Chain A
Amino acid sequence: MTNPDEKQSPIILQGRVVRAGKAEGEALVSPEPISFLGGVDPETGVILDPNHALHGVSIADKILVFPHGKGSTVGSYTILRLARNGVAPRAMINAESEAITAVGAIIADIPMVDLIDIRQIETGDWVRVEDGRVEVRKKKPA
């Protein structure tokens, strides 16, 4: 787990609250939309879709950053199942949200914000979400 570099001044992004709440953790950035029903294992949080850029990666305990959801609307229940199984993301950040992910965040009590320029966030950055405000501390260069 990357530790936050508290001395570094964070990038502040302001978006729209989808589900109010506070969370912080390591960013996992998906460059492409995520289909939750069938695309994410509700028992483990691992992305199952073999054609997805993050195939085999777990979204558990991450700040999950992705453009928006896609696929079946039943995917909202997949997000709920992830939360109840303890393998949900700590928060979700979208470029522009849609019904599947937004409803999933509400029924699963996962803080969520959208209308964020997600190109400013990279996998491994330390991200803090508080309602519509997103703080990004860049990971140290390798």
Chain B
Amino acid sequence: MTSDLKLTPQEIALLEGAEGPGVQRAMEIVVTLGRIYGAPDLVPVGHVQIAGVSYKNLGDAGVAFLHEWAEEGARVRVPTTLNPAGMEMDRWQEMGFDPAFAQPQIDAIMAFVKMGVKPTLSCTPYLFPDDAPARGEHLAWAESSAVVWANSVVGAYTNREGGPSALAAAIVGRTARYGYHLPENRLATHIVDIRCPVRTIADFGALSYMVGKRVGAGVPWFADLADWLPPLPNDFTQGGDAGDRLKTLGAGLAAYGAVALYHVAGYTPEARDQGEALIRPNAQRIVIDSLDEGYAIMDADPDVTEIDLVTIGCPHASLSELRYIAQRLQGQKLATRLWVTTGRITRARAEQAGWVQIIEEAGGEVVADTCAVVAPVRSLGVRTMATNAGKMANYAPMHSGVKMRFGDIDRCLDAAITGRWK
């Protein structure tokens, strides 16, 4: 069976082992994916985000494999960042994690670091000044919520990479040109009309569920969502009122559907430039006239009123979310446990502003490197949770067997202050 994938002499050399077995294996992965998906060639990538970091999923075999790959000389060629792990790396002992879980988790991260990966341990590389992507840039990103952000909010190009395929792309500095790297695959398959208010971050989470379920792996075109969004900021690394809403929208679309890209008419970069030429002629129309269906799924345990853990930050909290939480908790004393989960880079920036200290004085925890989806929260004694994050609301009960309340951030913070959901 012949393949039409064109490789440069340099790429062929890597495939034949010119730079050792580690690079050869990485090139074999990238080339095989190119052949399976009919790519014409490989395209250089500017940045890689790696998933498949949690020891729970890697197992001992996965950790050993990563170390072998590093021993074989595999090193990343482009800036590469890492998804969250199952615990905070510097404080796992005081947070009550089992060493039998912590030690292999640390080993896994050491293998990535050996290959030159930056241990950012966050799902939001786009919030970091050194890693935020640029319009038109090709990427190999493996965190589905970040993939949606890069494609939709920034107008960069990436497929939904898997953990090992993203790592392979970083090692050879290239990915196969197929899927969302090609303009013809970036056209909208569905038109979404909104006929109800969409105001809070929780509202955008509920909307993400309803649209994700209906479009699957399609590309939604939001015809009128810009009416409910503040203007796009110039600096996305702050989050901001618009960014925080788009962050939760993309995460939910990716989790409840398999969305990698959406457009908002007159708002997101490609939609601003190309207008309705971005809509496929046969696009299906979807009308959302109430968010009740989304709330019913996410706020699935309405009898629960005692909350063990309130968690904000899925995807990882932005600077603007940390600032808001600090303002709300100034001078308060919390009655229940609060985790604001974020990236260590964002936490360091929030510490400089004094917001982390305010949250901690109130009794809250600003947790880096992990979140309540990937951390084994049940082993920390958590049975009931509350969140404003649409993806978390459905994932945490599924992964950790906890009961969940879902509502806007003020309701979540009130629950943290009083210990009760009202």
Contact = CB atoms under 8 A, between A and B. Distances in A.
Interface of A: 14-19, 37, 42, 73-74, 76-78, 80-81, 83-85, 97-100, 102-103, 106-107, 114-115, 132
B277 interface: no
B356 interface: no
A16 B31 CA distance: 13
A17 B31 CA distance: 12
B62 A106 contact: no
Interface residues of B, number: 27
Given A81-B59, A99-B162, A103-B164, A73 B33 contact: no
Interface of B: 1, 3, 25, 28-29, 32-33, 35-36, 51-52, 57-62, 64-65, 142, 160-165, 168
A76 B36 contact: no
A82 to B, nearest CB: 8
20 contacts: A14-B1, A16-B35, A73-B163, A74-B51, A74-B163, A76-B52, A76-B163, A76-B164, A77-B52, A77-B57, A80-B62, A81-B59, A97-B36, A99-B33, A102-B36, A103-B32, A103-B162, A106-B29, A107-B164, A132-B1
A12 to B, nearest CB: 14
A81 B164 contact: no
Contacts of A19: 32
B120 to A, nearest CB: 19
Residue among B3, B62, B64 with the most chain A CB within 10 A? B62
Nearest to B63: A77
Contacts of A76: 52, 162-165
Contact of A106 (B3, B28, B64): B28
B1 A15 contact: yes
A42 B164 contact: no
A129 to B, nearest CB: 14
Given A98-B36, A99-B33, A102-B32, A107 B58 contact: no
